[in-house]
A and B are shown apart, each in its own frame.
Chain A
Amino acid sequence: MAHSEKGSPEIDLELQTHIGRHLKASYDDILVQNVPDRFLDLLKTLEEKEKGQDSRDEQR
């Protein structure tokens, strides 16, 4: 628990709220960004590579 010897419980509570809010804010900055093209390309490449393998497997 975050009961500190110094500082009042009110300040602790206020800081805890700030911490929670900032923690989310830092994170959400990135969450709302568009997925960069490199990842779309990557997933497409992976998918195509696998499709290629599947069809080779089927031919065997």
Chain B
Amino acid sequence: MNDRPSVRDDLLAQIPSLRAFAVSLCGQMDKADDLVQEALVKAWSNLGSFTEGTNMRAWLFTILRNVYYSEHRKRRREVQDADGMFSARLVVHPSQNGHMDLQDFRTALSGLPPDQREALILVGASGFSYEEAAAICEVAVGTIKSRVNRARSALTRSLAVQAGSEFGPEPTLQAAMVTTSSGSSS
């Protein structure tokens, strides 16, 4: 009969990865879901340009990324505000032992230049090869490799500083500093 149900199932199967990638781009779940929605609508109306048997996930990531960056250019100021919210909105796990926890990591990650963060996530979290990530970002493979390396070095440096600071100020002082900085944003 017609092949739509399977296409729909294929799209459906990719939604979790698309949402995760969208959050990594824009830093906010609700905004991320809007991006995913727009990307799905675009994908659906451009199914003709998808080559059967090729990587649908990579194809969808490319569309999602294009949706994000075309909006990003349109609303640069708004997005910069959103970037400021990146770490604040992504709190899922409470800090457990204070040792390079997820929150520290997210803060460090949000401090990376967007192109490096994106490359690192595509390769390190989404599980794309360097070649696939390069195709998604429309740059050379070497560019992706160097972005990933720079991102890893920057995160290593920034987490090393955080790890080092644990041997410095007392935990209570650190807690006080954290409370102050989050309390000032109201």
Chain A interface (Cβ within 8 Å of chain B)? 1-2, 4, 6-7, 11-12, 15-16, 18-20, 22-33, 35-36, 38-40, 42-43, 46-47, 50-51, 54
Contact of A46 among B15, B44, B155, B156 (CB under 8 A): B44
User: What is the CA–CA distance of A27 and B117 in the complex, to the nearest angstrom?
Assistant: 13
User: What is the CA–CA distance of A12 and B163 in the complex, to the nearest angstrom?
Assistant: 12
A39:B92 contact, CB within 8 angstroms: no
User: What is the CA–CA distance of A15 and B153 in the complex, to the nearest angstrom?
Assistant: 10
Indicate the size class of the contact surface on chain B. 35 or more
Contact of A39 among B24, B37, B120 (CB under 8 A): B37
Please, which residues of chain B bring their CB within 8 A of the CB of A36?
A: 33
Q: List 5 A-B contacts (CB under 8 A).
A: A7-B156, A15-B160, A19-B152, A23-B124, A46-B44
A19:B40 contact, CB within 8 angstroms: no
Chain B 147-186 interface residues, beta-carbon cutoff 8 Å to A: 149, 152-153, 155-157, 159-160, 163
Q: A18-B159, A43-B8 are in contact. Are A23 and B120 (CB under 8 A)?
A: yes
- Residues 1-24 of B, flagged 1 when their CB comes within 8 A of A and 0 if not, give 010100010011001110110011
B20:A30 contact, CB within 8 angstroms: yes
Please, which residues of chain B bring their CB within 8 A of the CB of A25?
A: 102
B159:A15 contact, CB within 8 angstroms: yes
A26:B109 contact, CB within 8 angstroms: yes
